[in-house]
Structure 1
């Protein structure tokens, strides 16, 4: 009886204690960047600023030392831009369920629609939701573009953040990026661009788009030639949701996306990958999977160019060296 009691009540806490050492949290990141310079943003007026953008604007151009912008709980309805001239900013929220930056805008220009834009290298965000809550409009019109975040610089990391929209949620445009324990929601091309990015332990939630007959895609990764060092690598992620989508669609002849050791629900259609809108040859497409599991991971019916990778083939992509993370990331799994 005592053994059963221990199993039911104490083992879960032991497991939790074991896992805690693998969690990257705010105190760890704060310690790693080594700064005591903090700007407080409080929507209720109990900080130095009530607006996130006002806090960013207060940081001098050419900033060369890490500064923390602590955004206390609340929904901040504003567009936020980290300009190219303001490096070393750590945007720290109180948790993605408590701190949110929200705007509502559709545009024929993805960048113009973005709620949040990061265009400076050496940027970190923790515990924040980024949302574009523009209503879903008419298919194939400018009302489709409603980007939550535009990530367009080198050495950028998001920890425990969330990205919400429908069409074109996360514009992962260029540079080396790291997303850890993030939540990303969308329906069509909701992670797109030509960055070199690791997505580690992320949740990807599919929202069915009933306006159209084609299936949506989680990714639309651009890569025009084999010399381009870009592509999206998903490691130990969870894909689930409402309706069916492809893991990715081809954007350019060398489009590269890998899902590794990830759970794929029935939200992934049997073909897995599509070359919709791309009419070129498929032999150089690098749409691949490695040891995924779940009902959406079955290989029967996969697109003919889709790859199932071996341990040796996948190894260079799973290593943090793929994004040179040992040289710039404050922490990684």
Structure 2
């Protein structure tokens, strides 16, 4: 914006020196259900965590392609190219990829994550193969199916596994479905180390999961929350494992072909040391067995309709001496594992800052253009002094602070508009559609007292994209703190802000986007004037758009003197006559700082020609006057959150909040 107060602004202390204090105030504000800083929600057990657990988390951990470029593949050629590349990649598999020739290998090199997009990613009649020496690989959320050769139930004529690896280390196999392959479903062989296999489904097969093929005793493996159903043997078979920790697995619907020996559940072979905990066996022959040279400890499992061997001897090892873990009750395993194993719609790509990427912008840059499934950028607590730009080519990003409070994670910079205009001054700029930000603070701490400029606008946030959501966020600044805009005047973009905090003094909520602010705190800062400290809103709504700004079920607070703040003024950028502000403030508490005539003219445009109104405002700043247009009860039924946001696609981001 280019409009300013006519009077020279009174200086206030350098903003950068009080950022920490302001953040503390934001965090401390406790106003009932309005504007509270909510901790990032965490389930007691995160069954979709993108961090490897168990043995794969030890000795440096397993991070896959973290730090590398994110790509989305839809065909065999692209998958094979990226999987075999020397550099790290996060490879998202979208849709079914048919591998040719039938039963062929896709070689996976070190430092790769291969992950299905939602529950759509499939590899059909092909194998993922990890050659000796491969390390640091994550394979998640895929279906690998159908390389079975008719008539070869025993898998003697082909070696068409779903995944096969020899002499590898640090591999995490998670949330996959393996079905109806030509030999084994999962073969982990020849002294592979630091492996975790979790939340997978092994179905419709003879030889499900084999481990070993060695006389050495080196392999360390965690196997948890997997579902073996419609399988016959190797559920798993563990040959000479140093440590095999099996917990909360579910074995059901075993193939019953009358074979007295080679139909079984878990088998500790050779010198394997195996610990089984809280698993569930239903209709299984030989649920768990051990060679005389092996050690097997079992505790807490449930056997239902089982027959045959349940061996247990020796001391094996204590898994908790290696890592922490949480056991689910054995009785809950069938329900939990059947629900949470296999590909999941909510599993996608989460990029961690720092960790996977050093900066928020680096993580944004790694998101593939045109991504169809949300990508979460998880930002660790800290202060990130840098600008961030989410371009229009990168929709469906979730920018999420991971601290306990929104003030824990701050993105801040200090550029004023005089050095780049409103766009150039914005600390964060969102041009993409379908972006959500939560549990974050956005700030522009340009120090007005330190620099004498013609203008003092300095944006914390500017949006031009559609379907933008801010949840539990804070926006800190002075003039022009938050601009919600659209690509051009007659294009409608929508923004929903809830349970958040916004502060500023002059036009600090402004622009032409249809914007709803709900259950939030708006703080009107004092500039030291007894008569005019500023304006909360400066809308520039297109005349063809009936919905501009709606502030509802919120609270305005201020330390400014009584009768010294305006609710808003009409902004006509460049004198554009078709930009006619629409602002409704309803069901919101107003402080004594609000003027009894709360709307005012701007740049020669009368406020009376704009679309300003209140409805059921209350508090000391809501006293009736002739200059306070009130919405009728009949019209209030039309000017609702739903109607502001629904557009032509019935967007309803408020549902469930």
TM tier, smaller: 0.7 to 0.9
| Residue aligning to 2:620 | 295
Name the SS of the counterpart of 1:295 in structure 2. Answer: coil
Q: Please say if 1:195 is aligned against 2:513.
A: yes
| Residue aligning to 1:242 | 559
Q: Please say if 1:162 is aligned against 2:474.
A: yes
Q: Please say if 1:206 is aligned against 2:545.
A: no
Query: Offset at 1:216?
Result: 0.8
Q: Please say if 1:186 is aligned against 2:504.
A: yes
Q: Kindly report which structure 2 residues correspond to 1:43-62, keeping only aligned pairs within 5 A, or say none.
A: 47-62=355-370
Contact residue 532 and residue 565 of structure 2 kept, 8 A? no
Q: Please say if 1:80 is aligned against 2:388.
A: yes
| Residue aligning to 1:222 | 540
Cα-to-partner distance string for 1:29-81 (whole Å, 9 max, x where unaligned): x99x8343211113xxxx21221111111111121111111111111111001
Structure 1 residue runs of 5 or longer lacking an equivalent are 1-15
Q: Please say if 1:117 is aligned against 2:429.
A: yes
Contact residue 208 and residue 242 of structure 1 kept, 8 A? yes
Q: Kindly report which structure 2 residues correspond to 1:1-333, keeping only aligned pairs within 5 A, or say none.
A: 26=41, 34-42=346-354, 47-93=355-401, 94=403, 95-108=405-418, 109-136=421-448, 141-174=453-486, 175-210=493-528, 214-225=532-543, 227-243=544-560, 244-252=564-572, 254-280=580-606, 282-300=607-625, 302-303=626-627, 306-324=628-646, 327-332=650-655, 333=657
Query: For the residues of structure 2 that align with 1:216 and 1:283, how far apart are their CA atoms?
Result: 19
Name the SS of the counterpart of 2:466 in structure 1. Answer: coil
Higher RCO, 1 vs 2 (CA within 8 Å, ≥6 residues apart): 1
Query: Offset at 1:209?
Result: 2.0
Instruction: Please say which of residues 83-92 and 100-109 is displaced more in the overlay.
Output: 100-109
Contact residue 69 and residue 90 of structure 1 kept, 8 A? yes
| Residue aligning to 1:11 | none
Name the SS of the counterpart of 2:507 in structure 1. Answer: coil
| Residue aligning to 2:18 | none
Name the SS of the counterpart of 2:348 in structure 1. Answer: coil
Query: Offset at 1:122?
Result: 0.6
Query: For the residues of structure 2 that align with 1:212 and 1:263, how far apart are their CA atoms?
Result: 22
Query: Offset at 1:182?
Result: 0.9
Query: For the residues of structure 2 that align with 1:264 and 1:211, how far apart are their CA atoms?
Result: 19
Cα-to-partner distance string for 1:190-245 (whole Å, 9 max, x where unaligned): 001001011111100011123797441000001352x2344100111100112131
Query: For the residues of structure 2 that align with 1:121 and 1:110, how far apart are their CA atoms?
Result: 20
Instruction: Pick closer, same or farther for the CA change 1:38–1:224 going to 2, 3 Å.
Output: closer
Of Structure 1 and Structure 2, which has the larger fraction of its residues in helix? Answer: 1
Contact residue 246 and residue 268 of structure 1 kept, 8 A? yes
Aligned residues: 303
Query: Offset at 1:311?
Result: 1.7
Query: For the residues of structure 2 that align with 1:231 and 1:123, how far apart are their CA atoms?
Result: 20
Instruction: Pick closer, same or farther for the CA change 1:330–1:257 going to 2, 3 Å.
Output: closer
Contact residue 513 and residue 541 of structure 2 kept, 8 A? no
TM-score normalized by the length of structure 1: 0.83
Query: For the residues of structure 1 that align with 2:594 and 2:519, how far apart are their CA atoms?
Result: 18
Query: Offset at 1:141?
Result: 4.3
Larger Rg: 2
Structure 2 residue runs of 5 or longer lacking an equivalent are 1-31, 49-117, 119-344, 487-492
Name the SS of the counterpart of 1:294 in structure 2. Answer: coil
Query: For the residues of structure 1 that align with 2:636 and 2:549, how far apart are their CA atoms?
Result: 13
Query: For the residues of structure 2 that align with 1:179 and 1:112, how far apart are their CA atoms?
Result: 23
Query: For the residues of structure 1 that align with 2:605 and 2:425, how far apart are their CA atoms?
Result: 28
Instruction: Pick closer, same or farther for the CA change 1:139–1:323 going to 2, 3 Å.
Output: farther
Contact residue 37 and residue 68 of structure 1 kept, 8 A? yes
| Residue aligning to 1:6 | none
Query: Offset at 1:279?
Result: 3.4
Instruction: Pick closer, same or farther for the CA change 1:76–1:102 going to 2, 3 Å.
Output: same
